Amino acid sequence: MASSLLAPAILFFLSLSAEICVRATEYTVGDGDGWDTGTNYLRWSQNHNFTVGDVLVFNYVRVLHNVYQVTEETYRSCNWSSGVIKMYDSGSDQVTLAEATSFWFICAVEGHCQGGMRMGVKVAASGGGAAAPAPEERSNDAGDAVGRVVVRRWWVVCWSVLLMVWGLRAT
């Protein structure tokens, strides 16, 4: 009976370790330019593929700038009187992209968002990679991506249980 449980157990732990082994990457926003006026962040974000667990680092001079994580609507309007999800102002802010969805950032210093200090990043569920969303592109597919991860995990769990039951019946 012990051997009949071996295959599903191995499958289960393989799937578990696969999730754990996915390495997070740290990205410095704007690379050497940091988070500042005069950098094209749309271009920067399009040059990278972001995956769940990756970390964005915003480097800037405190007081001169800040980082607001906002809704897509606020990103587009640059009106941060509403739609602010999180505020950062340490000058070296680390933001973990914890979900397969689109993240929107602006600098909430008068004129900076309109001047181009805003960025959207699209985060992929796994190593497949996804480009940054274009300014006019809608992000309807974000929910789908999250759904797919859940489905994949359930698929592995279901198969493990099925194999275990089958293994017990065989003895």
Per-residue x/- track, 114-133, Cu ion (CB under 5 A): ---x----------------
Kindly state the smallest distance separating residue 144's Cβ from Cu ion, in Å.
Answer: 33
Candidate ranges 12-20, 109-117, 136-144, 154-162; the one touching Cu ion (CB under 5 A): 109-117
Query: d(Cα 64, Cα 100) in Å, to the nearest integer?
Result: 31
Candidate ranges 74-82, 105-113, 144-152, 155-163; the one touching Cu ion (CB under 5 A): 105-113
- Binder of Cu ion out of 95, 107, 123, 125 (CB under 5 A): 107
* Torsion angles phi and psi, residue 48, rounded to 5: -130, 150
Kindly state the smallest distance separating residue 45's Cβ from Cu ion, in Å.
Answer: 17
CA distances from 118 to 5, 13, 30, 42, 171 (A): 53, 41, 11, 8, 62
**Interaction residues for Cu ion, span 57-76 (CB under 5 A):** 65
112 binds Cu ion (CB under 5 A): yes
Identity at 84, one-letter amino acid code: V
Kindly state the smallest distance separating residue 105's Cβ from Cu ion, in Å.
Answer: 11
* Torsion angles phi and psi, residue 121, rounded to 5: -125, 140
What token pair was written down for 16? 């578990």
> Residue 11 or 109: which CB sits closer to Cu ion?
109
Kindly state the smallest distance separating residue 158's Cβ from Cu ion, in Å.
Answer: 49
Kindly state the smallest distance separating residue 117's Cβ from Cu ion, in Å.
Answer: 5
Q: Of 6, 57, 67, give the one whose Cα is nearest residue 32.
A: 57
**107-109-111-112 Cα dihedral, nearest 10 degrees:** -30
Binding site for Cu ion (CB under 5 A): 65, 107, 109, 112, 117
